[in-house]
């Protein structure tokens, strides 16, 4: 080839109107890639140049849908499959709760789509320069002139003479031809040199930041937790009127695992204070141990009130009286806790749950001395079963 093939032919115009008038004239005979460069946006120019709508919008839509599905899908998987936790009795697939995060991921990926779509697709990054940028014409365009450019495309060269002719005919001045290929000076960012430089910058920035934090400890990255007002347990306080740092619990505070005794008398507790302890074998067995330890000396092994210590002057109650058979569990619990008349209370010695075991045992004891025919039949079956079981042992 005798001379270099032209990559672009540039013609300048003095006004936006002159440029707009020239575009249809050029397009009538030239059908290659035509670009206009102006110092400010000119209305209607895309339409005149026949440029369609940008498809960055479709990238944004695609990325937005991806963010929507990813956000919703991730939460669905985590909450239904990977780590199903029940919050406040709600179903694990509580989709309304997923909306805020789903919204955020949708917006995030849409924004990424818009920014990177524009940079990579529309602005053709990582191509950093373009041959047109170093032309004389481009300097005029940044001030007050308007350019119309016939540009070569990858697989389509331009006819320099024909372009010159059609641009001058349309009123273009100061024609300039660019021979440099648009491929030259591109892709620097991804070259080995560019990548090496990028990595080097990252490493220097990382170690530099570490050095800065070590050398200037007066500048902690976040100091709001150091400076917060703190009251230590045994320290005096200038804030509270009594001068103590530690506070009393609020009036009426109930300790964990402790049931306050709100009843004055056993009669008051009767029928109101409910027995929380199921009458299991374990409860009865423990109740018997407690009874034998604490109560038997006065009330006798069977609860008949036959005291084992004759020297004791009191008259222990017969626990099989009609009245004591008919009182509620709450009544018995109250007597064990606070005592009654000459009998002392056992609230300090026996824990609440154990007192209920004792109540259960008292019930069993009462029934043992006042059994129905059914009870006897049941007892016989149980005894027979335990007899056969003992053979197995």
Which stretch in 4-12, 69-77, 125-133, 328-336 sits in contact with ligand HEC by CB under 6 A? 328-336
Number of CB atoms found within 10 A of residue 287's CB: 24
Identify which range of 26-34, 132-140, 148-156, 332-340 contacts ligand HEC by CB under 6 A: 332-340
Q: Does 297 participate in binding ligand HEC (rule CB under 6 A)?
A: yes
Least distance from ligand HEC to the Cβ atom of residue 243, Å:
45
Q: Which stretch binds ligand HEC (CB under 6 A): 160-168, 226-234, 338-346, 384-392?
A: 338-346
Residue placing its CB nearer to ligand HEC in the complex, 34 or 332: 332
Q: How far is the CB of 271 from ligand HEC (least distance, A)?
A: 14
Residues ≥6 apart with Cβ < 8 Å to 313: none
Restricted to residues 340-359, the positions that interact with ligand HEC (CB under 6 A) are 340-343, 346, 358
Exposed e or buried b per residue across 329-365, where buried means at least 16 C-beta atoms within 10 angstroms of its C-beta = bbbbbbbbbbeeeebeebeeebebebbbbbbbbbbeb
Smallest separation, CB 302 to ligand HEC (Å)? 13
Instruction: Evaluate the omega torsion of the peptide bond into residue 216 and state whether it is cis, within 30 degrees of 0.
Output: no
299 sits near ligand HEC (criterion: CB under 6 A): yes
| CB nearer to ligand HEC: pick between 20 and 269 | 269
Q: At which residue do the structure tokens 């440099």 appear?
A: 180
Does residue 365 belong to the site contacting ligand HEC (CB under 6 A)? no
Nearest Cα to 190, choosing from 118, 117, 125?
125
Residue among 43, 42, 39, 34 nearest 9 (CA): 34
Point out which span in 108-116, 334-342, 373-381, 383-391 binds ligand HEC (CB under 6 A). 334-342
* Residue placing its CB nearer to ligand HEC in the complex, 322 or 390: 322
Site string for ligand HEC, 243-272 (x = CB under 6 A): -----------------------x------
Picking from 234, 202, 336, the residue whose alpha carbon sits closest to that of residue 275 is 336
Q: How near is the Cβ of 276 to ligand HEC at its closest, in Å?
A: 18
Name the residue nearer to ligand HEC (CB basis): 110 or 360.
Answer: 360
Query: Distance between CA 37 and CA 49 in Å, rounded?
Result: 12
Kindly state the tokens that stand for 118: 């524009």
Cβ 259 to ligand HEC, closest distance in Å? 18
Which CB atom, from 161 or from 306, has the smaller least distance to ligand HEC? Answer: 306
* Least distance in angstroms from the C-beta of 99 to ligand HEC: 60
Minimum Å gap between C-beta 300 and ligand HEC is 10
Beta carbon of residue 325, minimum distance to ligand HEC (angstroms, whole number) = 11
Residue 103 and residue 95 in contact, taking contact as beta carbons nearer than 8 Å: no
Residue of 336, 337, 354, 356 interacting with ligand HEC (CB under 6 A): 336
Helix (H, G, I), strand (E, B) or coil at 236: strand
Secondary structure (3-state) at 349: coil
Query: What's the closest the beta carbon of residue 270 comes to ligand HEC, in angstroms?
Result: 9
The DSSP element (H or E) to which 96 belongs, if any, is: helix 95-116
CB of 324 to ligand HEC, least distance (A): 6
Binding mask 302-321 for ligand HEC (x = CB under 6 A): ----------x-xxxx-x--
Buried b (16+ CB within 10 A) or exposed e, 33-63: ebebbbeeebeebeebbeeeeeebeebbeeb
Q: Using CB under 6 A, which of 26, 137, 170, 335 touches ligand HEC?
A: 335
199-238 positions binding ligand HEC, by CB under 6 A = none
Measured between alpha carbons, how far is 23 from 48 in angstroms, rounded to an integer?
7
The most distant pair of C-alpha atoms in the chain lies apart, rounded to whole Å, by 138
Which uninterrupted H or E stretch holds 73? helix 56-77
Of the candidates 25, 27, 33, 294, which one interacts with ligand HEC according to CB under 6 A? 294
At residue 146, φ and ψ (nearest 5 deg) are -125, 135
- Residues belonging to the chain: 393
Closest of 288, 19, 320, 335 to residue 147, by C-alpha: 19
The residues of the shown chain that bind ligand HEC, judged by CB under 6 A, are 266, 294-295, 297-299, 312, 314-317, 319, 324, 332, 335-336, 340-343, 346, 358, 362
């Amino acid at each position: 080839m005798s001379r270099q093939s032209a990559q672009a032919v540039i013609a300048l115009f003095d006004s936006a109107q002159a440029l707009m008038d020239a575009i249809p004239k050029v397009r009538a005979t030239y059908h290659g890639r035509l670009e206009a460069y102006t110092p400010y946006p000119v209305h209607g120019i895309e339409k005149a140049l026949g440029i369609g709508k940008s498809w960055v919008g479709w990238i944004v839509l695609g990325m937005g849908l991806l963010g929507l599905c990813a956000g919703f899908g991730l939460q669905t998987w985590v909450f239904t499959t990977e780590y199903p936790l029940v919050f406040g009795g709600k179903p694990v697939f509580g989709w309304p709760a997923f909306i805020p995060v789903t919204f955020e991921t949708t917006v995030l990926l849409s924004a990424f789509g818009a920014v990177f779509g524009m940079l990579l697709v529309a602005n053709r990054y990582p191509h950093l320069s373009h041959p047109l940028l170093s032309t004389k014409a481009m300097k005029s365009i940044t001030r007050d002139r308007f350019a119309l450019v016939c540009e070569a495309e990858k697989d389509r060269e331009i006819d320099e003479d024909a372009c010159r002719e059609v641009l001058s005919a349309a009123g273009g001045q100061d024609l300039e031809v660019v021979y440099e290929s648009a491929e030259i000076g591109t892709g620097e960012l991804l070259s080995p040199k560019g990548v090496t430089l990028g990595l080097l910058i990252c490493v220097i920035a990382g170690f530099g930041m570490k050095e800065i934090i070590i050398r200037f400890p007066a500048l902690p990255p976040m100091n709001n937790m150091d400076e917060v007002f703190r009251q230590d347990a045994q320290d005096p306080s200038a804030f509270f009127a009594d001068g103590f740092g530690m506070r009393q619990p609020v009036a009426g505070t109930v300790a964990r695992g402790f049931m306050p005794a709100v009843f004055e008398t056993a009669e008051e507790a009767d029928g109101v204070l409910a027995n929380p302890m199921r009458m299991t074998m374990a409860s009865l067995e423990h109740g018997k141990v407690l009874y034998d330890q604490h109560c038997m000396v006065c009330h006798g092994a069977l609860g008949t009130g036959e005291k084992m210590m004759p020297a004791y002057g009191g008259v222990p109650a017969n626990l099989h009286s009609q009245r004591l058979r008919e009182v509620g569990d709450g009544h018995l619990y109250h007597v064990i806790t606070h005592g009654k008349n000459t009998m002392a209370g056992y609230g300090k010695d026996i824990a609440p749950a154990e007192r209920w075991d004792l109540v259960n045992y008292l019930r069993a004891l009462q029934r043992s001395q006042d059994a129905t025919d059914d009870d006897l039949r049941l007892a016989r079956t149980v005894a027979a079963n335990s007899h056969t079981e003992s053979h197995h042992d």
